[in-house]
Amino acid sequence: MKHSKKTHRPAKFWPVIGFGTLAGMRSMSAPAFLSHYLSRQPHAGLDGSPLRFLQKPATATALKAIAAGEIVADKLPMMPNRIAPEVLLGRLLSGALVGATWYKSRQGSAVGGGLLGGAVAVAATFVSYALRTGISEKSGVPVALVGVGEDALVLAGGTALLSGQRPAHGEWRPM
């Protein structure tokens, strides 16, 4: 029986599913989490790429501030629904950005990662919208209060997603 020597391939698919889901729930949370991670563990796969800006500490700080603002703004009654075309486009682009960046950082195709991240973000947008409005309608709990629970899920999910990531040998470089 032949034994093949397996080489370690860094995880690409499942983390992008996670990032895309975060982008669908809170559009700026996924780039904020990813930039936070990359600013502390820059990846050589992004050297020379236009996506390398997500590795900069200033970018991570700015994205975290924007994500915090989104959490507050999401509860305001004048905000459009997340499934409105212009809002949905933002979530799609957020998912595509994080998917492309993650795949590229893991020596994968930025295009493939972007397509996957964008598609998952769109799906997660509709699922999270249906869950949030459904829970509110059936329980009588205001939509904004259900949104606070959604915020907690996004924060816990993003933290869990990144806590499981370890750079493979030769993938990261010191800042």
Tell whether 173 is covered by a domain. no
Position 26 pLDDT exceeds 50 = yes
Question: Does 1 reside within a domain?
Answer: no
Which pTM does this prediction carry?
Answer: 0.89
| Residue 149 domain-assigned (yes or no) | yes
Cβ(55)–Cβ(84) below 8 Å: no
pLDDT at residue number 9: 60
Give residue 109's region: left, alpha or beta (phi > 0; psi -120 to 50): beta
| Domain carrying residue 111 | 13-41+54-163
Does 172 fall in a domain?
A: no
Is 4 among the domain residues? no
140 belongs to a structural domain: yes
Three-class SS string for 50-82?
HHHHHHCHHHHHHHHHHHHHHHHHCCCCCCCCC
Beta bridge pairs of residue 43? 172
Average pLDDT over residues 118-126: 99
Whether the CB-CB separation of 15 and 165 falls below 8 Å is answered with yes
Amino acid 27: pLDDT: 97
Stretch 3-15: mean pLDDT: 70
151 part of a folded domain: yes
Confidence of residue 81 (pLDDT cuts 50, 70, 90): very high
Percentage, residues of the chain above pLDDT 90: 85
Domain count, the chain: 1
> Is residue 146 situated within a structural domain?
yes
